[in-house]
Structure 1
Amino acid sequence: MNAIKSVIRSIIVAFSLYSRIPMPVFTWQEKDMKHAISALPLIGAVIGGLSFAVFKVTGIFEFPHLSIILLLSVLPLIITGGFHMDGIMDVQDARNSYQDRQKKLKIMKDPHIGAFSVISVIIYGMIWFAFFNLLISNTLKKGSYNYLYIYMVSFFIVRAACGLTSILFEKARRDGMLNTETKSTGGADKIVLTAELLLGMGVMLFLDIIGGIISIAAIVLFTVYYKAMCSKNFGGVTGDTAGFYICVCEEAVMVCISLAAFFA
């Protein structure tokens, strides 16, 4: 019973940290955060599930393509409160400062918005809109939804991959939030996150072999790039780089899936 209660409290902490979904309020203890990162993919499952529901409802009422695209695009931001998008902005400001590592880490902690963060978010949004429009248009035109469903699964699998990288990769700060969230994790968390990752991969491959392989390859390649980028610029990963990972990896998967759907 205590074990079940501990798991539930960790899930509540995870949803409180990584989303804006209302959760029961209680005083957190350090042990409640111990397994929170293992529940991170569950937020992705909620995003994917609600995206599926929104897509079905807008289809029933025959919403215009543009409305569907905008609703599905804004949904993750509403659920997370833009929590991870802040990571893109901070990382891009720091990277484009061309300062040393310590200065870059300091820039990431600065609450002020820099020019490069704004430029990066605009570019990110334009790429997202262009390729998501391609995905939705081809999905509705061909009447085959598997590629779109793979996109919805990506919210779950990317967060599982992010959880693993946050645990396994070197931390840039010993006193940072990410280090606090992961320092007490153990083998059980790695097993759970790996199982979630494999589950997501299995669902992608079940939906479409080619689309699943392309998506998994995109995640693997981006993860390799992410590790090298973080090591070079910051000496390791941080909470901000984790947010960067989630947003950019999701976009990378979506771009690849959109192209696969277009040429299929």
Structure 2
Amino acid sequence: METPLLKEMKSGLLLCIQFFTIIPYKKEIPWEKKTIQWCLLTFPLIGLIIGVIGWIQLWSLTTITPLSSLFVSFWILFYFVAISGGLHLDGWMDCSDAYFSYRDQDKRLEIMEDPRVGSFAVFSVLFLLGFRFLFIYELIQLNRALTFSAVLLIPVLSRGMVVFMLIKGKLAKDTGLAAAFQKGVSSHLFKVSALITLVIAASIGFFLHQIGVTILLLVASILFLIGFYSFCKKQFGGMNGDTLGALLEGGETFLWFVLWLLLYFVTA
């Protein structure tokens, strides 16, 4: 028999799946405070599920098939973008258009709401994915063990960053998806979400014997989160749904970059 707590956890997880992945689940989930809280708490868990699916694909493509590292790298890049339906990448593009407009904060927020895609959005997403592809490709070529760790850890940590910023961050406006989620946040949620993220990341590190890499990526995630949130407050007056998507996509690329630096300047 399903207890009320278990039902809330299940509803939160399913709401998270509905909002942030393309995994089909069409049943309507009630928008309640407890459901929202569990949705946020399970976001790093969704990252783990996404990472495990990616890990299985990476292992299969590099072990069972004769496919080239070039194709495998592109497929892993495609998978991580596609699994969220491009939702977070859309946030990166909207933020790019707004920032490079060099307008005041109010006008930048208006530009974010514009459904049209500008040239700066196109340029920025090409460079973002281009660099991420480069990092993935060279890691697969030179250190597959590090790549397997990244595929599991990065989706968890990037989603942990989003939860932390959503819970603690100042809203740029009182409407939108970020505002709707933040209304369901309670004071203790930050500590619980941090604990969940740390437990998942540490478990991955122990399982793969990559504790050092895990600590490095945790520190890099914290630094990137602090820097990105400061950027959002200065440029947009705070955070919204688009900046959260940009945080996730930019954070993932930054963490791949950190591992690429580790490959060349530490382990070389």
TM-score, normalising length: structure 1: 0.92
Q: What is the number of equivalent residue pairs in this alignment?
A: 260
Q: What is the alpha-carbon distance in structure 2 between the residues aligned to residue 153 and residue 212 of structure 1?
A: 7
Structure 2 match to 1:154:
154
**In structure 1, what is the equivalent of residue 108 of structure 2?**
104
Question: Could you tell me which residue of structure 2 aligns to residue 67 of structure 1?
Answer: 71
What do you get for the CA RMSD once the two structures are aligned? 1.7
On the 8 A contact 2:162/2:248 being kept in 1, the answer is yes
Equivalent AA in structure 2 for residue 124 of structure 1: L
1-structure distance, mates of 2:57, 2:29: 34
CA contact (8 A) 2:14 2:29 kept: no
For 1:135, the equivalent position in structure 2 comes to 139
Pairing 1:1-264 to 2, within 5 Å after superposition: 1-31=3-33, 32-58=35-61, 59-140=63-144, 145-203=145-203, 205-206=205-206, 207-263=209-265, 264=267
CA contact (8 A) 2:58 2:148 kept: no
Distance, in Å, in 2 between the alignment partners of 1:27 and 1:245 is 26
2:83 aligned counterpart, secondary structure: helix
Q: Aligned partners of 1:152, 1:168: CA distance in 2, in Å?
A: 25
* 3-state SS, counterpart of residue 20 of structure 1: coil
Distance 1:34 1:187 in 2: 11
Contact 1:204–1:211 (CA under 8 A) maintained in structure 2: no
**3-state SS in 1 of match to 2:143:** helix
Identity of aligned residues (%): 25
Q: Which runs of 5+ in 1 are unaligned?
A: none
Conserved? CA contact 1:151–1:254, under 8 Å: no
The 8 Å contact of residues 222 and 249 in structure 1, kept in 2 or not, is answered as: yes
Structure 2 unmatched runs, 5+:
none
Amino acid at match of 2:97: D
Give, in angstroms, the shift of residue 47 of structure 1.
1.5
- What's the TM-score once normalised by structure 2's chain length? 0.91
Q: State the distance in 2 between where 1:86 and 1:137 align.
A: 30
Measured in 2, the distance between the counterparts of 1:200 and 1:161 equals 14
Shift of 1:209: 4.0
Distance 1:209 1:50 in 2: 21
Alpha-carbon deviations, 1:182-220, whole Å to 9, x = none?
Answer: 211114532331112212442465433442333223212
Range with bigger deviation, 82-91 or 203-212: 203-212
